[in-house]
Amino acid sequence: MRSKLVFLPGDGVGPEVAEAARIVLDAVVNKVGLDLSVETFAFGGAAIDSHGTPFPDETRDACLSADAIFLGAVGGPKWDNAPIRPEAGLLAMRKALDVYANLRPITVFEGMTGLSPLKPELAEGVDILIVRELTGGLYFGERIEGADTAQDKCEYSRAEVVRVARIAFEAARGRRGKVTSVDKANVLATSRLWRNAVNELHQNEYQDVQLEHMLVDAMAMKLIQCPSAYDVVLTENLFGDILSDEASVLSGSIGLAPSASLGNGTRGLYEPIHGSAPDIAGQGKANPVGAILSVAMLLRHSLEQPEAAQAIEQAVQQSIKAGHGTADIKGSDSTRQFTDHIVGLLPD
C-alpha cells in the first residue's frame, strides 16, 4: 500500500536540511523499493508569506491524512512580531496531530568522543533517549499578555502524564531498562502530580524497569557531570525543550540531533531538534544529520522499515568517522557535500 508523506521545509536552514532529508529518503526508496508519495506544503514563516498564516488549512488537511510528516524548522527574525508567529503554527500542528510524546535520542557514537566538548572519558558511551511530553504544560495553558503583567498557566492531567510515561517505560524495556523522571516537585504542583502518576504507573505495570526521580536543576548539572549514567529521561514539555538542547551538545552539535513526535498509532511528525538557525541560513553550512536521522526515525516508527533506518544511521556514523562533516563538527563540507557522502555509503 502506498504511504503518504508530507514535507514541510519551513524557514531558515529548514529548506536546506529538508532537501538533504529528501535526497536520503529518495535514495532509500530507490534501493528498498518503497511505495511512497511525497508532497511539499507551506508551513511556518514561509506560509505566513504565502498564505497569511503559519499553518494553512490545506497543510493541516494534508498532515492529518498523512502517514508521516517531516519538518525542517520554522521561525526567524522576519516573523518575530507577526500576529501569529511560525512557532504558534508548530504548536498548533503538534496539538492537531496529538503527538504527545517527543522522542529525542542523544548518542555519542563510538569513536567520536572527539566531537564532544566534554572530556572523552565523560562523553564515552553516552546514549540517552529524552522522552519529552509535547502537547501539555506551559506551552498550551491559558496565556494572558498585558502591558505590565503576563501569565502562562501550567496544567497537566494524570492521564496526560500516564500516556507519555508509558512510552518512556516501554522504550526503557527495549534499551537498558532505566527511566529517570525529571520534575520540579519541590516547588510545582504539576510536578508533584507528575511524580505521583509516574510512580503509580511504575508500581502497577513496570516494576521490571528501574525508576529514579531527579529535580530538573540537578539534572541540568548531571547531564554534564555523568551523562553516561542515563538511559531514558522522561520529562514535561518545557523542561524537555531545555534539557534536550543541552544534551544535544554532548555529541558535538545540536545539528546532529533528530526527533520523532508520536501519539497513538503509527503516524508521526519528524524534525531535527534545532531551529531555523538564522545566523547560518542560506549559506550551505547547516549540518543535515539531525534531519537525516529524523528520516531514519520516520522509516522505523511510521513505515516499519527498521533495516532502512539502520542503514541510514550506519552511513551517517561512517561518514563522520571518515572525517566528513559541516563546520559545527569541525568538518569542511557544505550541507550538500556531507549529504552526498552519506548517500554514497548507503548499502545497495
Cβ closest to ligand IPM, residue 7 vs residue 239: 239
Cβ closest to ligand IPM, residue 137 vs residue 331: 137
Q: Which of residues 181-240 bind Mn ion (CB under 5 A)?
A: none
Q: What Å distances lie between residue 318 and 37, 68, 328, 345, CA to CA?
A: 29, 27, 17, 8
**Beta carbons of 248 and 129 less than 8 angstroms apart:** no
Cβ closest to ligand NAD, residue 87 vs residue 133: 87
* Sequence-separated (6 or more) residues with CB below 8 Å from residue 180: 212, 213, 214, 219, 230, 231, 232, 233, 234
Per-residue cell: 337: 557535500
Task: Determine the residue with CB nearest ligand IPM.
Answer: 87
| Smallest separation, CB 92 to ligand IPM (Å) | 10
Cβ closest to ligand NAD, residue 257 vs residue 343: 257
| Smallest separation, CB 238 to ligand IPM (Å) | 8
Selection from ligand IPM, ligand NAD, Mn ion, none that 183 binds (CB < 5 to 8 A by kind) is none
3-state secondary structure of 220: helix
133 is a contact residue toward Mn ion (CB under 5 A): no
19 is a contact residue toward ligand IPM (CB under 6 A): no
Amino acid at the residue 103: L
271 is a contact residue toward Mn ion (CB under 5 A): no
Q: Which of residues 65-124 bind ligand IPM (CB under 6 A)?
A: 75, 87, 90-91
| Smallest separation, CB 178 to ligand NAD (Å) | 28
| Smallest separation, CB 75 to ligand IPM (Å) | 6
Cβ closest to Mn ion, residue 133 vs residue 241: 241
160 is a contact residue toward Mn ion (CB under 5 A): no
* Sequence-separated (6 or more) residues with CB below 8 Å from residue 174: none
313 is a contact residue toward Mn ion (CB under 5 A): no
Spatial separation of the C-alpha atoms in residues 84 and 94, rounded to whole Å: 16
| Residue carrying the nine cell digits 523542561 | 239
Per-residue cell: 129: 533517549
241 is a contact residue toward Mn ion (CB under 5 A): yes
Per-residue cell: 296: 531514519
Spatial separation of the C-alpha atoms in residues 297 and 294, rounded to whole Å: 5
Q: Which of 133, 183, 241, 328 binds ligand IPM (CB under 6 A)?
A: 241
In 127-193, DSSP assigns E strands to 127-133, 143-145, 150-152, 178-183
Q: Label residue 340 exposed, middle or buried (CB < 10 Å: 0-12, 13-18, 19+).
A: middle
Distance of CA 249 to the CA centre of its chain: 14
Q: Which of 273, 292, 311, 320 binds ligand IPM (CB under 6 A)?
A: 273
Spatial separation of the C-alpha atoms in residues 243 and 214, rounded to whole Å: 13
What is the rounded end-to-end Cα distance, in angstroms, of the chain?
Answer: 23
In the chain, DSSP assigns E strands to 3-10, 36-40, 68-73, 101-107, 127-133, 143-145, 150-152, 178-183, 210-215, 232-235, 260-262, 268-270
| Smallest separation, CB 293 to ligand NAD (Å) | 11
Known catalytic residues are: 139, 184, 217, 241, 245
| Smallest separation, CB 90 to ligand IPM (Å) | 5
| Smallest separation, CB 79 to ligand IPM (Å) | 12
16 is a contact residue toward ligand IPM (CB under 6 A): no
Selection from ligand NAD, Mn ion, ligand IPM, none that 198 binds (CB < 5 to 8 A by kind) is none
Interacting residues toward ligand NAD by CB under 6 A: 13, 17, 73-76, 87, 90, 253-255, 271, 274-280, 286-287, 290, 328
- Interface with ligand IPM by CB under 6 A: which residues? 75, 87, 90-91, 241, 273
- Interface with Mn ion by CB under 5 A: which residues? 241
